[in-house]
């Protein structure tokens, strides 16, 4: 597995790290994802997709907060990834973040994994 960091961005309350592991781009946001920090996640997700990484794994284990703007960033990335033949996998959500997905029903449109290791495990369906 290639665990080299591809990039990172930081402003205020959110740090985003991006790396490639096998055929997946792993994006790890740490901190608070909201109206003020959404572009810090949107831009790296778009960059991954533009580079041909259609399978995005979002490691949510360090995400402390996500509002509707953050949710919309993830939903937008999901649509773009699916249009490219891939998808967005969410891994290791903290309970406070998982609750936002549960309340909005967004958990039903994402592939959600308990851990990053689970999200990166080979998928028999090919995604």
The model's pLDDT over 56-107, given as tens digits with 9 standing for 90+, comes to: 999 999 999 999 999 999 999 999 999 999 999 999 999 999 999 999 999 9
Burial class (CB in 10 A: 0-12, 13-18, 19+), 126: exposed
Q: Which two tokens stand for residue 17?
A: 């790290």
pLDDT band at residue 12 under the 50/70/90 scheme: low
Q: How confident is the model at residue 122 (pLDDT cuts 50, 70, 90)?
A: confident
Q: What DSSP assignment string belongs to 66-127? A: E-HHHHHHHHHHHHHHHHTT-EEEEES--HHHHHHHHHHTGGGTSEEESSHHHHHS--TT--
pTM of the model: 0.86
């Amino acid at each position: 597995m290639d665990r080299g960091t591809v990039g990172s961005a930081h402003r205020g309350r959110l740090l985003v790290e991006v790396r490639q592991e096998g055929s997946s781009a792993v994006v790890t946001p740490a901190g608070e994802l909201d109206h003020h920090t959404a572009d810090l996640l949107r831009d790296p997700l778009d960059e991954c997709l533009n580079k041909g990484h259609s399978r995005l794994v979002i490691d949510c284990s360090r995400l402390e907060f996500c509002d509707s703007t953050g949710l919309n960033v993830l939903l937008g990335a999901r649509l773009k990834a699916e249009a490219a033949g891939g998808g967005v996998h969410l891994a290791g959500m903290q309970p406070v973040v998982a609750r936002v997905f549960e309340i909005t029903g967004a958990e039903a449109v994402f592939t959600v994994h308990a851990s990053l290791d689970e999200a990166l495990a080979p998928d028999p369906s090919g995604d």
